[in-house]
Structure 1
Amino acid sequence: MTLQSPQPIHPPMTREEFNVFCAILPATTHVVQWGNSDVWKVGGKVFAICGWNDGADAFTFKASDLAFEVLPDTPGIRPAPYMASRGLKWLQHYAEPGLSDVELREHLHASYDMVVAGLSKKKRAEINP
């Protein structure tokens, strides 16, 4: 019997890593609001939030229809408080295991893309001339 070494445990994405990732996306803006949440916008519309979890970091993002249907079955992922209760398809990564950092970045980027796609043609042209 061969023993395999356990997979290295990586701490989940930090607030700082979240902010660095969101800042590299084109034409984003950052504000701190809603009880010290980091709120990221593109074209004036929110695409990602870090906060809203009783003081612990939680990452909130707009989700595709499929992701909104499937991901809440994953431990550590839930419909985003406040937003989902208003009929919006937003998810929150609030606890481990949740998503890997790679998956979380993919969903944050997809959220950004969905928000950009919903902007007016003029605003989209300003972001991506």
Structure 2
Amino acid sequence: MTRGEFDIYCGALPKATHVIQWGNASVWKVGGKIFAICSGWGGANGDRISFKCSDLSYAMLIQEPGIIPAPYLARAKWVMIEQAGALTGDEIRAYIASAHKLIAATLTRKVRAELGLSV
């Protein structure tokens, strides 16, 4: 998945907002909380995608080649796709949609209501 595809997909999720942070990272949030990041920290390896996941998905994904615990975010069950092809585009989209739902579920009822999100 390219950074452009990543941004288009994340932008289509309900109430998702986008900022560029930490140099040139494409950071996607819902209710002000981050659910996915695409960073250029990969250098020659290209962009790297990171996202929040469930405890079970985290345990499974970090066993896969090309996927590591996300630096600085692993304690919160985030992974980073370190190598292109570690997951298919469809798999990445499914995990990002799940990340969006996981983060939206942590928002207060008031914030979810203000955003029109039902979780």
TM over 0.5: yes
Runs of 4+ off more than 4 Å: none
**Match for residue 108 of structure 2?**
120
The number of aligned residues is: 115
TM-score, normalising length: structure 2: 0.91
Identical columns (%): 46
RMSD: 1.2
Tell me which structure has the larger Cα radius of gyration: 1
Q: In 2, distance between residues paired with 1:127 and 1:99?
A: 31
Gaps of 5+ in 2: none
Paired residues of 1:48 and 1:111 also in contact (CA < 8 A): yes
Given candidates 46, 53, 63, the residue that maps to 1:63 is: 53
**Match for residue 89 of structure 2?**
101
**Match for residue 18 of structure 1?**
6
- One-letter code of the match for 2:71? P
Q: Classify the secondary structure of the residue corresponding to 2:62.
A: helix
Q: In 2, distance between residues paired with 1:95 and 1:40?
A: 21
The offset of 1:52, in angstroms, is 5.4
**Match for residue 81 of structure 1?**
71
The offset of 1:127, in angstroms, is 2.3
Paired residues of 2:51 and 2:99 also in contact (CA < 8 A): yes
Q: Classify the secondary structure of the residue corresponding to 2:98.
A: helix
Q: In 2, distance between residues paired with 1:114 and 1:30?
A: 17
Gaps of 5+ in 1: 1-12
